[in-house]
Amino acid sequence: MKITKFAACIVMVLLLSGCTAILWGGNKVSGSHRVNVMKMQDSVTDIFQYENISASVVQDKTNIPLIIPSEGIAFLGERNVYILTRGADELLSLNKLTDKIPLIADKEENTLKLQLARSVKGDAIFRFKDSLRVWVNKSEGELSEYDIDVIKHSGFQNSKGGYWKDVNIEGVVLPRKSLNYTFTNTESLGRKYKVEFYATDNETDFYPKNLATNIVLTPVALAADIVFFPVSLTFLRLIIGQQH
């Protein structure tokens, strides 16, 4: 009897798995094999820090707040604005470190590749979530004892390949055509850099159910203005990949 029940459970699991595959559009996934597929791309032209920002989505005459930091870092693309919701402080800290220690990012030069995060209930925007590996661009033999102390204090680990650190970043994608704001006082990159967003080939639920078409940016403190100011080119080389 126990064997019969166990067999029935296995059959149910297989049936449910089959239904799920149909609901996902019939993507063929063999075992745990997944392939990253590019879902979105843009060209980033500027970067800036901001202060005193609050954002909300207007839907059916109702303002729905967007959870973003009131101050932080954003990239300006031709199609979208990309606001970091996690990792900005650490990246700015690394930017200061580059004055003393040469750093590079472990990725394809001039291209920022990020993973899309699955949408959650009520989402009206795209979200991304990824990890950026940052390396010290010197061998251990080229570093002084002081350099090594600074690097270790900054959270870098040592392996055969050198000193490295992973920085977890998250953010939101705001379509420029949906925004009520014109961005000024940004830092031009001097050229366009590609940003690409990926999801595994068996994921279709990263799309928000109702994509925002009207996003409003307002000051957090109504008595003050939203403030934008440039970020140094050293920081840009670290993130975007202008490494020579």
**Predicted TM-score of the model (pTM):** 0.73
pLDDT at 153: 94
Examine the pLDDT at 61 and tell me if it is beyond 50: yes
Between 53-57, 172-176, 203-207, the lowest mean confidence (pLDDT) is in 203-207
- Most trustworthy range by pLDDT among 150-154, 201-205, 235-239, 240-244: 150-154
**pLDDT, averaged across the chain:** 74
The mean pLDDT of 174-194, rounded to a whole number, is: 76
pLDDT (tens digit per residue) in 82-120: 999 998 888 888 888 888 888 887 666 667 888 888 776
Dihedral over Cα of 196, 200, 201, 203: its sign:
negative
pLDDT band for 149, please (50, 70, 90 cuts).
Answer: very high
